[in-house]
Amino acid sequence: MVAAEIYVSGRVQGVGYRYFTEKIAARLGVTGWSMNMPDGRVMLDIEADRPSAEKFVRELEKGPAMASVTGVAVTWKPFQGRHSGFIIRF
């Protein structure tokens, strides 16, 4: 199990990106949260088994149809079991 702090750059606000992350997280068994940042990025804090977390990151690089992802910065961290589900923070 791993955790990660992720920042996604590009046209990722106002295009359903956070809802996309919620859907993908449910499909892959990823827990944590996503939220819009004031600087236009989306931040995520996730936990999952390593293969699911890596697949989740690959999906983040694609994004939903209306998004245009220009960067995904991932900082891997030790798993702490802090999340029980996946939510969108506002």
> What does the pLDDT read at residue 48?
98
Whether the Cβ atoms of residue 84 and residue 34 lie closer than 8 Å to each other:
no
- pLDDT tens digits along 77-86: 999 999 999 9
Q: Under a CB-based contact definition with an 8 Å cutoff, are residues 83 and 33 in contact?
A: yes
Residue type, 43: M
15-69 pLDDT, tens per residue? 999 999 999 999 999 999 999 999 999 999 999 999 999 999 999 999 999 999 9
73 pLDDT tier (thresholds 50, 70, 90): very high
CB 31 within 8 A of CB 86: yes
Q: Which residues pair with 68 in a beta bridge?
A: 11
**The pLDDT of residue 36:** 98
Q: Give dist(CA 38, CA 28) in Å, integer.
A: 28
Instruction: Say if CB 17 and CB 41 are below 8 A apart.
Output: no
Active site residue 58: no
Annotation says 36 is catalytic: yes
CA 7 – CA 4 distance, rounded (Å): 10
> What CATH code would you report for 2-81?
3.30.70.100
Which pLDDT score, from 0 to 100, does residue 85 have?
97
Tell me if the pTM is above 0.85.
yes
Marked catalytic residue, from 18, 27, 50, 82? 18
- Out of 11, 27, 36, 41, the active site residue is 36
